[in-house]
Structure 1
Amino acid sequence: MSEGLDAIRRALEDDPALHERVTGTDFSWTGRIFTVEQVEVELSDGSRSGRDLVLHHGGAGVVAVRDGRVCLVRQYRVALGRMTLEIPAGKVDPEEPRDVCAARELTEETGLVAERVELLVESYGAPGFTNEHTSVYFAHGLSQGEAALDEGEFLNVLWLPVDDVIEAIRLGLIDDAKTVMGLLAARTFGML
């Protein structure tokens, strides 16, 4: 094991001097996809502070590549007020294994069926306020099946050259976090 990995593991060990202990919840709201809580915490020096938290089951996505082209979905995102290009992905159902979610979303959104998916990377996108955890997989052994979009889900499936997609990430044209991290991880690990 490398010295750097040991240092990283030590840096991730528990440190009571940095703990924040939740002492109460001031407000809680539950929606269809996530829960919002305002909590009070006691800091390690004894002082108190407030935290706004968004609790979410998380999601999973899939990098699918065929003949030097990556499968992306094009859809409008209301929160951004614009179109995005993203890898096929969706939210994990309660108790659903993440790899099963990734394979399910790939098929639902694109009709693609993977013989197997392999974990590429995991991320907490904004750990300062949310526990949303995203897992991105690489699809192996693709075959074409039938798409089955969720009610109210509208998107286009595009197959774009891998090198062009990587350049679009560099230029900020593709900026969805799971897509960026999944494609760059696949490139780094020699899968593209």
Structure 2
Amino acid sequence: MQVGSRRASEWTIHGERVVDDTRRAALSIADVELPTGVRFEQYVLRVPTAAMVIVVDDAERVLMMWRHRFILDRWVWELPGGYIDSDEDPAVCAAREVEEETGWRPRTLEPLVTFQPMVGTVDQTNLVYLGRGADHIGTAPDVNEAERVEWIPLDDIERRMRLGEIVGAGSVAGLLAILLLRAQGKL
């Protein structure tokens, strides 16, 4: 059902005020109204677009980083990636992040999946690329990024997710997409 140019279930935004604005995130509070007339304030976090890469080798292993995430206070496996600069090509960013964080250079990159991690609160596009093969470029991984870098067998990914070793939205979304491709015989 349409009401004017709006759908009957669409929320109305009456305004948004910025609480904090930094280079990497803007926090605001939006004044919103539900279709039923209920009005409330909703926190909104606007974050730059990020790119990450799933690098898969010929042995069907994926390049991952073991790192501590202070917000969760946990050690987890993650894919390499980072924020895209405003004038940067997303694929160039993705390849650069893999090199800086792992010491490996992906041989190829192709778009795999795009997603928003928390559509009710966070506005951030995440671009996940598939890299097929990689060359070790001899540089040590950035100690600020990861304690260690390893090639994890794809056959072990589901188990590590169940154990809570892989929890980040980007890593989970990308790895599930890879597992689906493999199940379809397209990897």
Using structure 2 for the length normalisation, give the TM-score.
Answer: 0.83
Q: Provide the rounded CA distance (Å) in 2 between the counterparts of 1:152 and 1:164.
A: 26
**2:10 paired with 1:19:** yes
The equivalent residue for 1:135 is 127
**2:82 paired with 1:54:** no
Shift of 1:154: 4.3
Residues 28 and 115 from structure 1, CA distance in 2 versus in 1: closer, same or farther, beyond 3 angstroms? same
Residues 21 and 153 from structure 1, CA distance in 2 versus in 1: closer, same or farther, beyond 3 angstroms? same
Alignment partner of 1:77 out of 43, 46, 69: 69
Q: State the Cα RMSD in Å.
A: 2.4
**2:108 paired with 1:116:** yes
**2:36 paired with 1:64:** no
The alignment-based identity, stated in percent, is: 32
Residues 148 and 98 from structure 1, CA distance in 2 versus in 1: closer, same or farther, beyond 3 angstroms? farther
What code does the residue aligned with 1:161 have? Answer: P
Using structure 1 for the length normalisation, give the TM-score.
Answer: 0.81
Q: Provide the rounded CA distance (Å) in 1 between the counterparts of 2:176 and 2:18.
A: 39
Give yes or no for contact 1:110–1:146 (8 Å, CA) kept in 2: no
5+ residue gaps, structure 1, are: 1-13
Q: Provide the rounded CA distance (Å) in 2 between the counterparts of 1:17 and 1:41.
A: 15
Say which is worse superposed, 74-83 or 138-147, in terms of deviation.
138-147
5+ residue gaps, structure 2, are: none
The equivalent residue for 1:186 is 178
Secondary structure at 1:182's aligned position in 2? helix
Q: Provide the rounded CA distance (Å) in 1 between the counterparts of 2:161 and 2:18.
A: 38
Q: Provide the rounded CA distance (Å) in 1 between the counterparts of 2:65 and 2:143.
A: 16
Say which is worse superposed, 78-87 or 18-27, in terms of deviation.
18-27
Alignment partner of 2:30 out of 27, 39, 58: 39
Give yes or no for contact 1:109–1:147 (8 Å, CA) kept in 2: no
Residues 99 and 140 from structure 1, CA distance in 2 versus in 1: closer, same or farther, beyond 3 angstroms? same
